[in-house]
Amino acid sequence: MLSVEDNERLTRVGPGTPGGAFLRRYWQPACLSQELPEHDGPPVRVRLLGEDLLAFRNTAGAVGLVDAYCPHRRAPLFFGRNEECGLRCVYHGWKFDTKGDCVDMPSEPADTRLQAKVKLKAYPTVERGGVVWAYLGPPEKQPAPPNYEWLRAAPTHRYVSKTFQHSNYLQALEGGLDMSHSSFLHNERLGDTTETRNRDRTPRAELEATDYGYWYATVRRIDPERNYVRFNHFIMPHGNVFGAFTSPTGERLNAARVDGKFWAPIDDEHTHVYNWSCAYDAHTALTPEDWEACEAFCGRGTDDLVDGTFRLKKNLANDYLIDRQRQKARSFTGIEGLNTQDFALQEGMGPIVDRSQEHLGTSDRAIVLMRRLLRDNIAAVERGEDPVGVDPEASARIRACDAILPANVAWRVALADEMSAKW
* Count of other CB atoms within 10 angstroms of residue 21: 18
Q: Give the least confident one: 20-34, 120-134, 333-347, 375-389.
A: 333-347
| For residue 2, pLDDT beyond 70 | yes
pLDDT at res. 313: 92
3-state secondary structure the chain: CCCHHHHHHHHCCCCCCHHHHHHCCCCEEEEEHHHCCCCCCCCEEEEECCEEEEEEECCCCCEEEEECECCCCCCEHHHCEEECCEEECCCCCCEECCCCEEEECCCCCCCCCHHHHCECCEECEEEECCEEEECCCCHHHCCCCCCCHHHHCCHHHEEEEEEEECCCHHHHHHHHHCCCHHHCCCCECCCCHHHHHHCCCCCEEEEEECCCEEEEEEEEEEECCEEEEEEEEEECCCEEEECCCECCCCCECCCCEEEEEEEEEEECCEEEEEEEEEECCCCCCCCHHHHHHHHHHHCCCCCCECCCCCCECCCHHHHHHCCHHHHHHCECCCCCCHHHHHHHHHHHCCCCCCHHHCCCCHHHHHHHHHHHHHHHHHHHHHCCCCCCCCCHHHHCCECCEEEEEECCCCHHHHCCCCCECCC
Question: 20: phi > 0 → left, psi -120 to 50 → alpha, else beta; which?
Answer: alpha
Q: 51 lies in which domain range? A: 31-134
Confidence of residue 248 (pLDDT cuts 50, 70, 90): very low
Contact 235, 392 (CB under 8 A): no
Instruction: Say how far apart CA 90 and CA 70 lie, in whole Å.
Output: 10
pLDDT at res. 247: 45
pLDDT at res. 330: 82
Contact 123, 136 (CB under 8 A): yes
Confidence of residue 250 (pLDDT cuts 50, 70, 90): very low
- Relative to beta strand 204-209, strand 226-235 is unpaired
Instruction: Say how far apart CA 348 and CA 233 lie, in whole Å.
Output: 26
Asked if residue 199 and residue 126 are part of one domain, the reply reads: no
Instruction: Say how far apart CA 169 and CA 47 lie, in whole Å.
Output: 14
Q: Give the least confident one: 11-15, 197-201, 339-343.
A: 197-201
| For residue 13, pLDDT beyond 80 | yes
In a domain, 206, yes or no: yes
The residue type found at 39 is: H
- Terminal CA-to-CA distance of the chain, rounded, Å? 39
Last residue of a domain, one of 109, 134, 159: 134
| For residue 147, pLDDT beyond 60 | yes
More confident residue, 163 or 282: 163
pLDDT at res. 31: 98
Mean pLDDT of all residues belonging to the chain: 90
Q: Please give the tally of structural domains in the chain.
A: 2
Question: Which among 191, 270, 272 has a CA at the least distance from the CA of 28?
Answer: 272
Over residues 157-174, the mean pLDDT reads 95
Asked if residue 203 and residue 116 are part of one domain, the reply reads: no
pLDDT at res. 190: 47
Contact 38, 82 (CB under 8 A): no
Taking the CA atoms of 135, 136, 142 and 148 in sequence, report the sign of the dihedral they define: negative
Q: What is the value of pTM for the model shown?
A: 0.92
CATH number at residue 103: 2.102.10.10
Confidence of residue 371 (pLDDT cuts 50, 70, 90): very high
Confidence of residue 246 (pLDDT cuts 50, 70, 90): very low
Asked if residue 161 and residue 83 are part of one domain, the reply reads: no
Asked if residue 186 and residue 94 are part of one domain, the reply reads: no
| For residue 106, pLDDT beyond 70 | yes
* Count of other CB atoms within 10 angstroms of residue 299: 24
Asked if residue 269 and residue 303 are part of one domain, the reply reads: yes
In a domain, 144, yes or no: no
Asked if residue 233 and residue 165 are part of one domain, the reply reads: yes
Omega before 106 cis (within 30°)?
A: no
Confidence of residue 253 (pLDDT cuts 50, 70, 90): very low
In a domain, 296, yes or no: yes
Asked if residue 129 and residue 263 are part of one domain, the reply reads: no
Over residues 81-90, the mean pLDDT reads 98
Q: Give the least confident one: 15-29, 172-186, 221-235, 329-343.
A: 172-186
Over residues 273-288, the mean pLDDT reads 86
Asked if residue 129 and residue 180 are part of one domain, the reply reads: no
Asked if residue 113 and residue 181 are part of one domain, the reply reads: no
Confidence of residue 178 (pLDDT cuts 50, 70, 90): confident
pLDDT at res. 311: 93
Q: Give the least confident one: 219-223, 229-233, 262-266, 283-287.
A: 283-287
Asked if residue 111 and residue 153 are part of one domain, the reply reads: no
| For residue 218, pLDDT beyond 50 | yes
Instruction: Say how far apart CA 78 and CA 46 lie, in whole Å.
Output: 10
In a domain, 15, yes or no: no
Q: Sheet containing 81-83: give its strands across.
A: 81-83, 86-88, 95-96, 102-104
Let me know if 162 is exposed, middle or buried by CB neighbors in 10 A (0-12, 13-18, 19+).
Answer: buried
